[in-house]
Chains A and B, each alone.
Chain A
Amino acid sequence: MTAVIEASGLGKRYGRRWALRDCTLSVPAGRVVGLVGPNGAGKTTLLQLAAGLLAPTSGAITVLGGRPADGPAQLGRVGFVAQDTPVYAGLSVAGHLRMGAWLNPAWDGELAERRIRQLGLDPGQRGGSLSGGQRAQLALTLAIAKRPELLVLDEPVASLDPLARREFLQGLMEVVAEHGVSVVLSSHLVADLDRVCDYLLVLAASQVRVAGEVDELLASHHRLSGPRREAGTLPAGQEVIEESHAGKQSTFLVRTRDPILDPAWTVRPVSLEDLVLAYMSQARDATRARRPGLEIAS
């Protein structure tokens, strides 16, 4: 499995604040990777580092085997849709496509125009008067028509209404199906990721909490409930991600490759949302434990 993004010890500091610190991860090729994590986990910073908008303070990041933004060739291989999907307010939709054609050597004008037609966008309309959903679609069109090998999207649907969100993600799925491009997509909306992603990466406090195929993750995580017992008494192969105890009842979210054999447990499957939440709260608890005197804003 080759990696599209490879980071080791990656760090990015703004003044005295580390936005990303000692981050090591590997994003596989040919997948639609969902990147989730709490606010301040460093998702945007990581994606901007991958797009070459930022340079790392420490460590290294490799994208498609090259250094991000290291020359026009490397820039042409990565399509980037930034948070809030910026477009030029004074430039028409057609003007944006011209920009794409003039600035990207591998530009697929036919693809861009077809998409704009399908979306029903008026080519003469200015970027500033587009709705949020239209703007996001235009930004996505620009990013895919440059025919990148990797598409990086930083919370592209965060500000869209549910319908626009679904249309955007449908468009994205069509592109993936048609061109086989690798995608990294960050979002807070796990339900959306569930729909489009086949690989999940949970990032919290710059660290990868869990990474893997969505199907595999769902198959290896279980929610166990039964009579009260301590986490330490569970079999060695069962890693406890989350536990809660109420009265005589205990509930665990465990990760294991082995089948659950203990008949005392009621075993239920977990949703992607449960899984993400469990890892995010585990990370938060770990941070709190490390710095007991500090109030951690979640």
Chain B
Amino acid sequence: MIRFAWYQFRPQAAVAFGPLAVIAVILAATGPHLVHLYDTAVGPCAVRDDCPAAVAAFIDTDSTLQSAVKLVITVLPYLIGVFWGAPLAARELETGTFRLAWTQGITRTRWLAVKLGVVGLASLLLAGLLSLALTWWYSPIDRASGYPWGEFAQRDIAPVGYAAFAFALGVTAGLLIRRTVPAMAATLAVLVAVQFAFPLWVRSHLIAPVQTSVPLNAASITGVGVVARDGRFWQVMASVHLPGGWIYSSYVTTSAGLPLSTEPATQACGGDSSYRACLAHIATLHLRQVVTYQPASRYWAFQWYETAIYLAVAILLAGFCAWWIRRRRSAGFTIRRQYTSPRAPVLRALAGQGAGPRAPREPG
């Protein structure tokens, strides 16, 4: 069955791994240039004392190529879910070929397990290789930017988790919906929702953040503002220096730990007093800066957690599919009427379907 699953999957694999090879060649050709640029422009910038400008200029190198590969790795899970996952079972059920497949000398559970294994592993491999190439290519830029959290979902092992989840989700949708195009649409919708919700509501809760409270350093104050109209309340804004840290929140409190906005404004900062006098006054207040954040050292813990969660859900979905395909035997897979609208050849090729579909009849 492994051989047959691979045999059937080959055209789809070619459609995916061909472009991957092209991307890899492009990245391999341009990558050394980035390393060289980093070594000459960013590396010795401290000597020339122009680091912010040098880094900003370097980060914008090859911006078109950067956006292109970023786009590829962002949409990859969607492509895998929609074109590899959703049709896997849905097309068999839709065109009635499950009656051919499941009456060969192999149980349907094994049929599904092997299909999930072969196409699933290909999905993991595809996402893993692309992420590997991308992470390598981007490494000088990421080193220059020094902030790993912004590109979290496009580097290292996280894309592998997304690919596994997207694939399993597609197969599940196909098995439940039993029609290819609606299953594709459902897969896409759920994937978009999950990829939107996870970074927003889940990722930041994976590990409890660290909270530090440090005496406010006058040099880090970036601004002082008077809040209320009558000049009675004021606010201090300060910058945080935590290299590579993912900052959830940062605010300034009084030495007693109260929010600063309740502090009455004084003459030192109100009216026409000088900014210098104001800063001097602030220094006497012993204000503290409270920062809630994830240290840069936790980057890999987050990568592993997130990948593990997506992989675990993928495995649960695969288990559900195996259970469903057995259970469904008692209810029966009735063949639903097939869509008749012609699909674009490129979509058919991506989904691994050769010639046009036939319309099977309902069993009598």
Contact = CB atoms under 8 A, between A and B. Distances in A.
Interface string A71-84: 11101101110111
B100 A103 contact: no
A128 B7 contact: no
A263 B110 CA distance: 67
A216 B359 CA distance: 40
26 contacts: A48-B332, A52-B103, A53-B99, A53-B333, A69-B107, A69-B108, A75-B107, A76-B105, A80-B103, A82-B96, A82-B103, A83-B364, A86-B360, A89-B353, A90-B354, A99-B4, A99-B7, A100-B104, A102-B1, A102-B7, A103-B4, A103-B104, A103-B106, A127-B354, A139-B100, A146-B105
Interface in B84-113: 95-100, 102-108, 110
Given A90-B353, A128-B355, A84 B103 contact: no
Interface of B: 1, 3-4, 7-8, 11, 95-100, 102-108, 110, 329-334, 352-358, 360-361, 363-364
Interface string A56-96: 11000000000001011101101110111011111100010
B87 to A, nearest CB: 11
A69 B328 CA distance: 14
B360 A91 contact: no
Contacts, number: 126
Contacts of A57: 330
Most chain A beta-carbon contacts within 10 A, residue among B108, B332, B356? B332
A89 B8 CA distance: 11
A14 B331 contact: yes
Nearest to A71: B107
Given A79-B103, A89-B355, 5 more contacts: A53-B99, A80-B99, A86-B95, A89-B357, A98-B4
A55 interface: yes
A43 interface: yes
Contacts of A87: 97, 100
Interface of A: 12, 14, 39-40, 43-45, 48, 51-57, 69, 71-73, 75-76, 78-80, 82-84, 86-91, 95, 98-100, 102-106, 126-129, 139, 142, 146, 154-155
B104 A128 contact: no
8 closest pairs, A vs B, by CB?
A: A128-B355, A90-B354, A76-B105, A82-B99, A103-B104, A80-B103, A44-B363, A104-B105
B215 to A, nearest CB: 70
A72 B108 CA distance: 9
Contacts of A142: 100
A46 to B, nearest CB: 11
Nearest to B361: A84
Nearest to B1: A103
A48 B97 contact: no
Contact of B329 (A43, A54, A86): A54
Contacts of A129: 355
Contacts of A128: 354-358
Given A43-B364, A45-B363, A82-B99, A72 B107 contact: yes
A78 B106 CA distance: 12
A139 B97 CA distance: 11
A139 B106 CA distance: 17
A142 B103 CA distance: 10
Contact of A104 (B104, B353, B355): B104
A49 to B, nearest CB: 9
A12 B332 contact: yes
B7 to A, nearest CB: 6
Nearest to B11: A90
A86 B103 CA distance: 12
Contacts of B102: 52-53, 69
Contacts of B1: 102-103
Contacts of B107: 69, 71-72, 75
Nearest to B96: A86
Given A55-B329, A84-B96, A78 B360 contact: no
Nearest to B354: A90
A155 to B, nearest CB: 8
Contacts of A53: 98-99, 102-103, 329, 332-333
A258 to B, nearest CB: 38
Contacts of A99: 4, 7, 104
A172 B17 CA distance: 44
A57 B330 CA distance: 7
B178 to A, nearest CB: 14
Contacts of B331: 14
Contacts of B95: 86, 89
A102 B3 contact: yes
A127 B97 CA distance: 11
Nearest to B355: A128
A75 B106 contact: yes
Most chain A beta-carbon contacts within 10 A, residue among B11, B103, B334? B103
B361 A14 contact: no
B329 A75 contact: no
